[in-house]
Amino acid sequence: MKLGYCSITWGGVVGHPQGVTSVKDLFYLTHGPMDRAVADIAQAGYEGVEMFDGNLAAYADKPEELRSILDKAGVSLVSVYTGANFIYADILPDELHRIERAAELAATFGAERLVVGGGARRAAGTTDEDYKRLGEALDRVADIAEAAGLSASYHPHLSTIVESPDELEKLMPLTRIGFCPDTAHLAAGGGDPAAVIRQYPDRIRHVHLKDFRKDPFAFLPLGEGELDFPDIVAAIKESGYDSWLMVELDEYDGDPKAAAEISRKYLQQLLP
C-alpha cells in the first residue's frame, strides 16, 4: 500500500462563488496555497496527494506550474475530489458537465482516480426516488471517469442522503460505481468503518483514512480519536485492496503539516 494525503487541510473547503449563479462552475476549492500543501505533504513522508476539482481548475491555463509543484516535491497527483446534488433533473446536465471537466483535468495532471460525494437532502425529506436518481447519476459519473482513463468511486458523506450504513445499503445495489470508504464519515454516520468495509470488499476502489471523536465532535489526526485503525486496516487487507491509502483531515484548526506528520508516524507503527 502507498500513502497519500489530501490537500483540504491547507485552507479548508469552500465552493466557488460563481456557482451561486452557475451550477456548471460550482467547483470545490481549498483556499490554502497548493505549493505549500504539496511541499508539506511530501516532507511529511507521503508519496501522493488528492486535490479538489476547483484547485485543478485554477491551473487549467497554466498546467506547467502545477506539474512543477508536483515534480519539485516528488509526489504524484493520485486523485481528484468533486461532488454534486445529483437528484435534481433540471441541473444534472450542468453538474455532469462540471464533473466531466474535473475528470479531464484529473487526467491532464496524471491522476488515477475520481472521487465523488453527494446526493442532496431535500427540505421536504428524502424519497426512494432520490436514491434511484443518485444511483443513475453515479453510473454516468463512472462512464465519465472511464472515458478519461480514471477509476471512479463514491464517498459517503455527512449532510448527504448517504450518511448511515442503512442509507449506503439503499444506494449500493442501484449503481456500479466503486466505493470510497471514509473512516470518519462512516463512524459519524453511525457505522463501524471496518464492518462497512467488510460488507463491500469487492467495491472498494479508493480509501480515505481519518480519525474521529464523537463528543465533542471532531475530525482528528490518525491515532488521536476513537476509531479502531488496526481493525480497519485488517478489513482493507481482507478485501484485497492493495493500493493508495489517502489520509484526510478536514475541519481542523491546528497546523496542517504537523497533523500530517502525526498521522504518518501513526501509520508507520501500524503498517509493516
In the predicted model, what is the mean pLDDT of residues 31-38? 96
In this prediction the pTM is 0.97
Backbone angles phi, psi at 162, to 5 degrees: -130, 80
The pLDDT score that the predictor gives to residue 107 is 98
Return the number of other C-beta atoms located less than 10 Å from residue 215's C-beta.
6
> 40-98, pLDDT tens digit by residue?
999 999 999 999 999 999 999 999 999 999 999 999 999 999 999 999 999 999 999 99
**How far is residue 170's CA from residue 129's CA, in Å, rounded to a whole number?**
11
3-state secondary structure of 62: coil
Task: Answer yes or no: is pLDDT of 272 > 90.
Answer: no
The pLDDT score that the predictor gives to residue 47 is 98
Architecture of domain 2-270: Alpha-Beta Barrel (3.20)
> 141-197, pLDDT tens digit by residue?
999 999 999 999 999 999 999 999 999 999 999 999 999 999 999 999 999 999 999
- For strands 211-213 and 218-220, give the pairing: antiparallel
472498494: which residue's cell?
204
- Exposed, middle or buried by CB within 10 Å (0-12, 13-18, 19+), for 242? exposed
Q: Tell me the pLDDT band of 251, cut-offs 50, 70 and 90.
A: confident
Domain-by-domain residue ranges, the chain?
2-270
Backbone angles phi, psi at 152, to 5 degrees: -105, 145
Q: Evaluate whether 48 touches 207 at the Cβ level (below 8 Å).
A: no
